[in-house]
Amino acid sequence: MERLRVDRQLEEALVHGPDPLHLAEVFGLDEKTAMRYADSAGALLEQAAEQPLR
């Protein structure tokens, strides 16, 4: 269940952009956790942007 919850939070960050305030509000996260998820989502989005389209 924990992994599913974390995946859902990361998915939310990817869909709505890496906004820690949004994540904290939607999931009731503390600011450090929200910032960590936002940073992770930002890194994933950056990696995806660097990949060539196939």
- At residue 19, φ and ψ (nearest 5 deg) are -110, 105
What tokens appear for 16 in the block? 């709505």
Residue 53: per-residue pLDDT: 65
Residue 30: count other Cβ atoms within 10 Å of its Cβ: 9
Number of domains in the chain: 1
Rounded Cα gap, residues 8 and 25, in angstroms: 14
Q: Output the CA angle 51-43-28, nearest 5 degrees.
A: 140
pLDDT tens digits along 1-54? 888 887 888 788 878 888 999 999 999 999 999 999 889 888 888 887 778 766
Residue 45: per-residue pLDDT: 81
Domain hosting 29: range is 2-50
Residue 28: per-residue pLDDT: 93
Cβ atoms of 35 and 20 closer than 8 Å = yes
Tell me the whole-structure pTM to 2 decimals. 0.73
Rounded Cα gap, residues 2 and 26, in angstroms: 17
